[in-house]
Amino acid sequence: MKMGIRAKIILLVMVALVVLCSGFVLLIIHEQKDRHHELVMQVDRFIHNSSERELNRIHNIYHSRLDGFVKTNPQIINAFIRGDRQQLQTLTATKFLTLKKENSDFFSISYIRKDGTVLLRTARPDMYGDSALDIPFVAQAFNIKQPQYGLTIARWGLAYRLARPVFVGDSFEGVVVFVLRPLSGLDLIYESLGVDTGVLIKKEYEQRVNGISYPQFGNYILMEEKGTLFKEIPRIPDIEEVGQGLMLAAGRERYLFYSPVELRNFDNEVIGYIQPVSRHTLQYEKYLLILKKALIVTAILALITFAGLYFGVGFLLKRLAQLNNTLEASVKQRTEELCQANDNLKNEILEREKVQKNLERLSRYDGLTDLINRRYFDELLDIEWRDARRHHHWLTMLMIDVDKFKSYNDCYGHLLGDECLAQIAGILKGQLKRAKDIVARYGGEEFICLLPATNPAEGQVVAESLIKAVCSKNIEHCGSSCADVVTISIGISSMVPDEKQTIDQLISHADNALYEAKQQGRNQVRTYHAKG
């Protein structure tokens, strides 16, 4: 039986439609898999980075704080060395509350004497006299007698501990230990991603925990958890089995396990891992629903196509083409309008940013010399002063004056005078090689330099190099009484800032030294020396 042309067209189109719809369904499946994989990868990266950042943050902050605690609290350390427990407890109480207020995860301060017994533990004062040498972290701290830090499992569970030895001369007196609750970032993971997390520790470490019973999963115990899923899950897959995302079915429920994060202790031993998991039942049902809808749409589309072909699909396609052309023209016009508006807005923003940068530079820089002005210098001076005071290092200031500059203006005119100042400014900038050195125009023919972390002797060397550089420029000066070229005089003042000294004193001393240099004949350096 021969098929008519109409039947052939319908058959050809239907075959093509089946192929297209099959491809559409496969595309949906592939897209869902890609989305699932991307979700797993994003959560994995977030969890790994969050855990690593949390431990690094604790170490970076409290490593220096513990060192500062020992160095800046001599009364507490002396009470510890003497074994005066009552005074130690009184003095430590305020410090502990301050640290606890700064970080709610701060848990305890422990003082362990050189014989290994606990003198004071703020979290458990009743541990007085107990030996702590059965704790591997403490035993190693006593063995190496050096600062130590890392995750530990001791009597009361998982914690991040930092230990610092205390010496009197060469005599070892014991260690001070800070204890913090680690992995508070798991709260953020739970709240922001809706992902439960469990901290699984190897069973072999359970004996170090003081009488606390934890749920067991194979060769691991569940020491901490965020969320409730670990109470529902019948089993946790092996760490090697999880990889990058593993779906586990339990009845009607489905759970998605993300790649685990290894936990290493202070001795770089793998003690367990963090296992993230989320309920994936709803997402899986949505995926099946989408797939079901796609199949239904495919069947409906096949019927509509068949009916359309049978009853005159040509007219329908023609009408659809007209509507599509109208819509595309409208979209194209609107897109062009939006692109034009976006370009205009971008140009306006760039212009405003340019004006803002120019205004900011004008407010901070001297137009003649291209050096920073006095106001901006004062801001930078205040910053460097506080930094030098905090770190106890030298701060040196050079007050610079161009010798007989008024006579220079009288001899050569103000235009050449301005050019002379610009040349000197360039010399000063060229001589100060360090990025942290600051040179500014202080007013008229006066310049000022600030040299952080520079002692008086080093400041003297810099000042002499500046005088030599200006002289070697050979800028003619017929009105100078000290040389036939332009020269400068420099006054130096240096301080290691403390509570009794002020910025005004540093400036005043440099100004007095400059005055002395000018009184002694100019073209020279003078350093301020306190009288008496």
Decide if 301 is inside a domain.
Answer: no
Last residue of a domain, one of 139, 154, 180: 180
Residue 408 or residue 309, greater confidence: 408
Domain boundary among 127, 153, 180: 180
Query: Within a domain: residue 163?
Result: yes
What was the pLDDT predicted at 220? Answer: 86
Q: Which residues pair with 448 in a beta bridge?
A: 399, 440
Which whole-number Å values give the CA distances from 14 to 6, 83, 432, 453, in the listed order?
A: 12, 93, 82, 83
Tell me if 526 sits within 8 A of 490, measured CB to CB. Answer: yes
Mean pLDDT of the chain: 85
| CB neighbour list of residue 463: distance below 8 Å, 6 or more residues apart | 398, 490, 492, 525
Same domain, 434 and 356: no
Per-residue pLDDT averaged across 389-396, rounded?
95
Q: What is the DSSP string of 392-447?
A: T--EEEEEEEETTHHHHHHHH-HHHHHHHHHHHHHHHHHH--STT-EEEEEETTEE
Helix/strand/coil (H, E, C) string of 323-392?
A: HHHHHHHHHHHHHHHHHHHHHHHHHHHHHHHHHHHHHHHHHHECCCCCCECHHHHHHHHHHHHHHHHHHC
Q: Are residues 452 and 408 in the same domain?
A: yes
CATH code for position 133: 3.30.450.20
Pull the structure tokens for residue 261: 């994060």
Residue 317's pLDDT is 53
Nearest to 280 by CA among 307, 254, 242: 254
Overall average pLDDT of the 156-167 stretch: 87
Whether residues 324 and 464 fall in one domain: no
**Tell me, what's the pLDDT at 187?**
75
CATH number (domain holding residue 432): 3.30.70.270
Mean pLDDT of all residues in 248-271:
80
Tell whether 409 is covered by a domain.
Answer: yes
> Domain range holding 137?
73-180
What percent of the chain shows pLDDT beyond 70?
A: 87
Count up the domains in the chain and report the number: 3
In a domain, 59, yes or no: no
Residue 381 and residue 493 in one domain? yes
Whether 176 is covered by a domain: the verdict is: yes
pLDDT, tens digit, 9 for 90 and up, residues 421-476: 999 999 999 999 899 999 999 988 999 999 999 999 999 999 999 999 999 999 99
Summarised one tens digit per residue, pLDDT across range 375-386 is: 999 999 999 999
- Same domain, yes or no: 379 and 514: yes
Tell me whether residue 27 is exposed, middle or buried, using C-beta atoms within 10 angstroms of its C-beta: 0 to 12, 13 to 18, 19 or more.
exposed
Please give the pLDDT value at position 532.
45
Residue 191 · residue 246 · CB < 8 Å = no
- 199-220: pLDDT as tens digits: 888 888 877 666 677 888 888 8
Residue-wise pLDDT for 33-74, tens only, equals: 667 667 767 777 777 777 777 778 888 888 889 999 999 999
Instruction: Locate 116 and state its tokens.
Output: 């290994």
Q: Are residue 500 and residue 522 in the same domain, yes or no?
A: yes
pLDDT reading at 84 higher than 50 = yes
Query: Do 351 and 483 belong to one domain?
Result: no
Residues 387 and 517 in one domain: yes
Cβ atoms 158, 138 nearer than 8 A: no
The answer to whether residues 404 and 456 belong to one domain is: yes
Query: How far is Cα 182 from Cα 161, in angstroms, rounded to an integer?
Result: 9
Catalytic positions, please? 445
Instruction: Dump the DSSP string for 167-235.
Output: EETTEEEEEEEEEE---THHHHHHHHH--EEEEEEEGGGGGGSSS----EETTEEEEEEESSGGGT-S-
Is the same domain home to 359 and 378?
no
Q: What is the pLDDT of residue 37?
A: 67
Q: Based on the domain organization, do 441 and 347 belong to the same domain? A: no
Residue 49 lies in a domain: no
> In 3D, which of 372, 360, 531 has the Cα closest to residue 442?
372
User: Would the pLDDT of 516 be above 70?
Assistant: yes
pLDDT of residue 310: 66
> Measured between alpha carbons, how far is 462 from 511 in angstroms, rounded to an integer?
17
pLDDT at 468: 96
State whether 404 and 326 are in the same domain: no
Q: In this structure, is residue 34 part of a structural domain?
A: no
Report pLDDT for 357.
77
Bigger pLDDT: 253 or 277?
Answer: 277
Which pLDDT score, from 0 to 100, does residue 311 have? 67
Query: In this structure, is residue 262 part of a structural domain?
Result: no
Average pLDDT of the segment spanning 327-347 = 88
pLDDT at 300 over 90: no
